[in-house]
Structure 1
Amino acid sequence: MIRVLLVDDQQLVRMGLRMLFESSGDVEVVGEAGGGADAVRLVDDLIPDVVLMDLRMPGLDGVAATRRITAARPATRVLALTTFDDDENLYAVLNAGACGFLVKDTPPAELLDAVRRAADGDRAFSRSALARIVERAVTHVPAGEPPPLPITRREREVLALVGAGLSNPEIAERLSLGVTTVKTHVASVMAKTGCANRIRLAVLAVEHGLA
Structure 2
Amino acid sequence: MTPIKIIITDDHSMVREGLKQLLELEGDIQVIGEANDGFECLKLINELKPDVVLLDINMPNCNGLEVLEILKKENRKEKILILTIHNEVEYLLKAVEIGISGYVLKDSESAVLKKAIFSVNNGETFIQPSLTPLLNQKLYQNNLSIDDETDLLTKRELEVLKLLAEGLFNKEIAYKLSISEKTVKNHVSNIFKKISVSDRTQAAVYAIKNNIVELS
TM-score by length of 2: 0.68
Gaps of 5+ in 1: 143-148, 150-158, 169-181
Mapping for residues 1-211 of structure 1, pairs under 5 Å: 1-136=3-138, 184-189=171-176, 197=200, 200=204, 207=214
Matched letter for residue 130 of structure 1: T
Matched letter for residue 14 of structure 2: L
Deviation digits for residues 118-149 of structure 1, max 9, x if unmatched? 1111111112221222334567799xxxxxx9
Aligned partners of 2:176, 2:79: CA distance in 1, in Å? 24
Which secondary structure state, in structure 2, belongs to the residue aligned with residue 42 of structure 1?
A: helix
Q: Percent identity?
A: 27
Which secondary structure state, in structure 2, belongs to the residue aligned with residue 80 of structure 1?
A: strand
Matched letter for residue 172 of structure 2: H
Deviation digits for residues 46-85 of structure 1, max 9, x if unmatched? 0111100000111111100111123325211111111111
Query: Are the counterparts in 2 of residues 70 and 77 from structure 1 also a CA contact under 8 Å?
Result: no
Paired residue total: 177
Aligned partners of 2:171, 2:138: CA distance in 1, in Å? 28
| 1:187 Cα deviation from its structure 2 partner | 4.3
| Counterpart residue number, 1:155 | none
Query: Are the counterparts in 1 of residues 93 and 135 from structure 2 also a CA contact under 8 Å?
Result: no
Which secondary structure state, in structure 1, belongs to the residue aligned with residue 77 of structure 2?
A: coil
Matched letter for residue 135 of structure 1: Q
| 1:12 Cα deviation from its structure 2 partner | 1.0
Which secondary structure state, in structure 1, belongs to the residue aligned with residue 71 of structure 2?
A: helix
Assess, with a 3 A threshold, how the Cα gap between structure 1 residues 70 and 62 changes in structure 2: closer, same or farther.
same
Deviation digits for residues 146-199 of structure 1, max 9, x if unmatched? xxx9xxxxxxxxx7xx95x7xx9xxxxxxxxxxxxx974344337868677588
Assess, with a 3 A threshold, how the Cα gap between structure 1 residues 187 and 117 changes in structure 2: closer, same or farther.
farther
Which secondary structure state, in structure 1, belongs to the residue aligned with residue 92 of structure 2?
A: helix
Assess, with a 3 A threshold, how the Cα gap between structure 1 residues 77 and 23 changes in structure 2: closer, same or farther.
same
Moved more, 69-78 or 2-11: 69-78
Aligned partners of 1:24, 1:50: CA distance in 2, in Å? 17
Aligned partners of 1:136, 1:36: CA distance in 2, in Å? 28
Query: Are the counterparts in 1 of residues 81 and 103 from structure 2 also a CA contact under 8 Å?
Result: yes
TM-score by length of 1: 0.69
| 1:96 Cα deviation from its structure 2 partner | 2.6
Query: Are the counterparts in 2 of residues 43 and 69 from structure 1 also a CA contact under 8 Å?
Result: no
Matched letter for residue 91 of structure 1: L
Which secondary structure state, in structure 2, belongs to the residue aligned with residue 98 of structure 1?
A: coil
Aligned partners of 1:43, 1:191: CA distance in 2, in Å? 39
